[in-house]
Amino acid sequence: MKLRVLGCSGGIGGRHLRTTSMLVDQDILLDAGTGATDLSITELSLIDHIFLTHTHMDHIAALPLLIDSVFDRRQKPITVYGTEAVLTILRNHIFNWAIWPDFTEVPTSEKPVLRLQKIEIGRPVSVGDRQFTALPVDHTVPAVGYHLTSGESSLVFSGDTCICDAFWKAVNTIADLKYLIVECAFSNREERLAFASRHYCPSMLAVELEKLERDCEIFITHLKPGQIELTMAEIEDSLGDFKTKMLQNNQTFEF
């Protein structure tokens, strides 16, 4: 199982700043932020499955355009996975004919290009021999993290979250955890904003990582443009014992 980071920034503003999207092998997206727009039309047409953490724009910005760009190249629908709350938001606010066509009815309702598939926290979804399990997190909108496993080792992606004991309890049950990708959106000077928007800052993440009982490599994602250097410096000061690294575009993980 191979994951390639297409975007991992908390915003835009430069050629290396793409919002959250990760390509698993050649056929699965984990979130569909602006990072997905760097894929070629051929690469986009190969995507059969998209797992969403939540519906904030930085995680779904490319989703409507992706589907529109490839629908005439496909013989089967793209399956988008999310909790019932996430799928309801997509139906009501994105694929509603006002913001974007309802591709669950295009080209026909019998053979649409988009299929919405409900998932439940803690219940694994298998795509071939690859398994995705939604994990509980705490954000301002309904959201999940994900546990990805090939059967040999595992990767966890927190998505967007703040303090959440249930997330760490779930992570600690993963005996073969190899990589943890965890968000830290704001610097400590924005601690009140981080808490209000249900994101981590370094001081909060340092406390949360004390709950981690697994030995794994830790990568930081979702850094806000303009605060990257400051936030990473604060992370080094606060989380030095954890030897965290900043997630980078085009970084790959095999597990």
pLDDT, averaged across the chain: 97
Residue 137 has pLDDT above 90, yes or no: yes
**Cα dihedral 177, 181, 183, 188 in deg (nearest 10):** 80
Query: Measured between alpha carbons, how far is 59 from 244 in angstroms, rounded to an integer?
Result: 23
Same domain, 114 and 128: no
Same domain, 189 and 158: yes
User: Based on the number of CB atoms within 10 Å of its own CB, is 151 exposed (0-12), middle (13-18) or buried (19 or more)?
Assistant: exposed
Same domain, 35 and 105: yes
* Residue pLDDT, tens place only, 203-253: 999 999 999 999 999 999 999 999 999 999 999 998 878 889 999 999 999
Same domain, 193 and 158: yes
* Residue pLDDT, tens place only, 194-212: 999 999 999 999 999 999 9
- Is residue 254 domain-resident? no
- Is residue 203 domain-resident? yes
pLDDT of residue 173: 98
Confidence of residue 193 (pLDDT cuts 50, 70, 90): very high
Same domain, 176 and 129: yes
* Residue pLDDT, tens place only, 157-191: 999 999 999 999 999 999 999 999 999 999 999 99
Taking the CA atoms of 164, 170, 175 and 176 in sequence, report the sign of the dihedral they define: negative
Same domain, 4 and 111: yes
| Residue pointed to by tokens 């005996």 | 175
Query: Measured between alpha carbons, how far is 126 from 161 in angstroms, rounded to an integer?
Result: 24
* Residue pLDDT, tens place only, 79-108: 999 999 999 999 999 999 999 999 999 999
Query: Measured between alpha carbons, how far is 188 from 239 in angstroms, rounded to an integer?
Result: 13
Confidence of residue 38 (pLDDT cuts 50, 70, 90): very high
pLDDT average, residue stretch 145-154: 97
Confidence of residue 140 (pLDDT cuts 50, 70, 90): very high
Domain count for the chain, please give it: 2
Residue 54 has pLDDT above 90, yes or no: yes
| CATH classification at residue 207 | 3.60.15.10
Confidence of residue 15 (pLDDT cuts 50, 70, 90): confident
Same domain, 70 and 136: no
Structure tokens at 5: 């980071």
Same domain, 110 and 6: yes
Are 242 and 218 contacting, i.e. CB atoms less than 8 angstroms apart? yes
pLDDT of residue 239: 87
